[in-house]
Amino acid sequence: MVAPHTTPSDHDLELLSAYLDGELAHRERISLEQRLDRETELRAALDDLRETVMIVRDLPPLKAPRNFTLDPVLYRRPIPWWQQLFTLGNVLQFSGAVGTMAALLLIVSAFMLGSNSANDGTSAPEAAFEQVAEPGEIAMFASPTRAFEATATLYAMNQATAIANSNTDAAAFDATLETQSEIYATKEISGTMTAESLLFAVTATPWPTQTMPPRLTATMLSTEVMPMGAVESQADTVGGQAFEESTSEGAVSFAAGEDTADDAALPTPQPLIVMPSPMPESPTMLQAQPSASDTEDDDTGEQWVGTPEAALDMADSDVAAGDENATAMREAQSTPSPALKEATASQTPTAMPVASGIGDETNSVGAAPPADMTDGQQDAEAPTPIEPMMAVRNANKDDSRDYTVLAFIGVMLLAVSLVAFMVGRRRSRRA
Amino acid sequence: MDENDLIQAAKCGDVESFNQLVLLYQDTAYTVAYRIMGETEAAADATQEAFISAFRKLHQFRGDNFKAWVMRIVTNVCYDELRRRKRRPTDSIEEMHEVQSSADGNLHSQQENPETYVQRSELSAAIQDCINDLPDDQRVIAVLADVQEYPYQEIAEITGLALGTVKSRLSRARGKLRECLRGVRELLPAEYRLVDK
């Protein structure tokens, strides 16, 4: 039985309660323990309070009347909007849509560029030439000295590029050269034109632009500009000596332009063959060409256009043109004429190519035929548009190949984008 | 999966993982709720509401004692409900006693004989009656201190009371419980009766 005893004060009960819970400060606890040792009533109240606390704390735990689990359907945590935005389905859907648009744009661009290239295929090289050789420049090129200056400058700008591209463009140049040589060898050109003379005029034309590849332009020479003694186109009439004269004297005489420089109209350079690359395999030709300074020093105003050695080197490499002309050229190469030697010796060989059609009016293509020319000469002199079909075809072929690759990439991108879009849409719907 | 894995999964929105945590602590939570509320349905409602609130606030859990965190939520829910009832009293005392009597049936254990079970049930009912007779403010603090054994500082934080107020209310609650338990002393176990000597 709980014995009735004097009830401690509320403050004493509060101290005892806190003492049981260990919530008293050190000083209060010491003071209370001293009182507990002295006051039996206070100690009995502490025991009574401890008993009460133990009874409450010993209450057994209850069992839950039911489960308080949550319904997954009702209490699924909502995904924040920014997380929903970046779900895999949405990301795939968005990327697929963007990729589809990009692919369509790529395909349309490829077809448009391809069609434009096909339409402007023949004019592309010409446009390139016009881009570089503006009318003012053409007029400037009419001046021999200025022409060589410009040529020297242009070549200096592009020599490195030409050399760098020589390896890759060598094959294309050979192919073009061979084809052109075949054309020259087989085409019935007027008697004033020979394959050798044409090849002779094939010079590397640098183009002062980084975006355009160095070009090689073959200029068809007219009878007006052809030197005396030019060989006939028939192989049987071409002798080594004749060609020697043609090449040697022609190289000097039509460059000199002493006869027609003042009479002829300003020539318009007309590239007949636009090569996608410089002449990588005719270093002798490039090196055999004179420098501009040397040309300027020449009091006679003789302008060097091309060297027979270079042309013959090209002819040597020409398998298709292995006819008598080639033989004649070989002979001419083996026995250069004194005039040629003089011409080449007076000009320091440098690695500067000469732009075709550049120089004196006498060697310019497209120059108006003199009035004293014969009909045959005028026919031959007329700027025969020897279409650079092969070169243009090669250029267009390269462009079309690029556009085809571009279109193919666009188609592949379109397919991947569509798949991604459909997968993302399916995932989004499923979610 | 251990408790931490379940908590992390529940934080990611896995309701099933959270339900496993609920099954672990629902008896304890219900017990606390019942000691505070004094009736079965109110305790069950408070427990359910506490678990729902815990699931929604799970991202705020930073501690390492999930059980204490849940018990604190249960206590807050019960305390809020008691304050709401104090503003709008609707339930009768008789109804609460009926509920508590039925709730004590859950204490039955298969290992104890029926006589012991009945005796323990009567003792538990008597103690719960004494707790229920306490004023709400004192009952909550008595349950927090003696059932959940919270320190005074934490009780003060839960109830929003000053530390001194907690001490005084707890002392008064224990005094009333002592007087109440004297009336049911014949139900007390022998070890408790020894104290009376």
Cβ distance of B15 and A76 shorter than 8 Å:
yes
* Domains (range + CATH), chain B: 1-98 (1.10.1740.10), 108-197 (1.10.10.10)
Q: Which of B19, B28, B146 sits opposite A69 (nearest CB)?
A: B19
Residue with token string 């589809």: A100
What is the mean pLDDT of each successive set of 10 residues along chain A, which is 431 residues long?
60 91 92 92 90 88 92 75 73 89 90 75 48 45 47 53 51 52 47 43 44 45 43 41 42 41 46 46 44 43 46 46 48 49 46 41 42 48 52 65 86 92 83 62
Average pLDDT over residues B90-100: 50
B114/chain A closest Cα distance in angstroms? 16
Rounded CA separation A183/A366 (Å): 20
CB-based contacts of A208: which residues, under 8 Å, 6+ apart?
A132, A153, A154, A157, A158
| Residue of chain A whose alpha carbon sits nearest to that of B56 | A77
The pLDDT tens digits of the residues spanning A404-429 come to 888 899 999 999 999 999 988 888 77
Taking a C-beta distance cutoff of 8 angstroms, is the pair B140, B82 a contact?
yes
Q: Which of A17, A50, A59 sits opposite B127 (nearest CB)?
A: A59
Query: Which residues in chain B have their CB less than 8 angstroms from residue A68's CB?
Result: 22, 26, 29-30, 44, 47-48, 51
pLDDT at A389: 57
The A-side interface with B (CB below 8 A) comprises 1-3, 10, 13-14, 16-18, 21, 23, 47-57, 59-72, 75-77, 79
A94/chain B closest Cα distance in angstroms? 25
Q: Which of B35, B55, B174 sits opposite A75 (nearest CB)?
A: B55
Torsion of CA A254, A260, A262, A266, to 10 degrees: -70
What is the helix (H) or strand (E) element at residue A350, kind and residue range?
A: strand A349-350
| B15 vs B91, more confident | B15
Rounded CA separation A19/A322 (Å): 123
B85/chain A closest Cα distance in angstroms? 23
CB-based contacts of A28: which residues, under 8 Å, 6+ apart?
A15, A18
| Residue of chain A whose alpha carbon sits nearest to that of B131 | A56
Domain boundaries, chain A: 10-57, 86-122+398-431, 142-386
Please count the CA atoms within 13 angstroms of the CA of B106 that sit on its side-chain side: 19
What is the helix (H) or strand (E) element at residue A203, kind and residue range?
A: strand A202-205
B21/chain A closest Cα distance in angstroms? 9
Interface mutation vs chain A, best among B119, B143, B167, most A CBs within 10 Å: B167
CB-based contacts of A111: which residues, under 8 Å, 6+ apart?
A403, A407
Query: Which residues in chain A have their CB less than 8 angstroms from residue B103's CB?
Result: 62, 65
Taking a C-beta distance cutoff of 8 angstroms, is the pair A316, A285 a contact?
no
Average pLDDT over residues B132-152: 90
Cβ distance of A59 and B27 shorter than 8 Å:
no
A35/chain B closest Cα distance in angstroms? 18
Cβ distance of B152 and A71 shorter than 8 Å:
no
Rounded CA separation B46/B78 (Å): 6
Interface mutation vs chain A, best among B15, B34, B55, B122, most A CBs within 10 Å: B15
Taking a C-beta distance cutoff of 8 angstroms, is the pair A315, A326 a contact?
yes
Q: Which two tokens stand for residue A304?
A: 């060097």
What is the helix (H) or strand (E) element at residue B94, kind and residue range?
A: helix B93-103
A89/chain B closest Cα distance in angstroms? 19
Cβ distance of A59 and B124 shorter than 8 Å:
yes
ipTM: 0.80
B164/chain A closest Cα distance in angstroms? 10
| Residue of chain B whose alpha carbon sits nearest to that of A7 | B175
Cβ distance of A67 and B128 shorter than 8 Å:
no
Q: Where are the alpha helices (DSSP H) in A166-323?
A: 166-186, 195-200, 240-256, 283-287, 292-297, 308-317
The pLDDT tens digits of the residues spanning A308-362 come to 454 445 444 444 444 445 454 455 454 444 544 454 444 444 444 444 444 444 4
pLDDT confidence tier of residue B110, bands split at 50, 70 and 90: low
Taking a C-beta distance cutoff of 8 angstroms, is the pair A383, A365 a contact?
yes
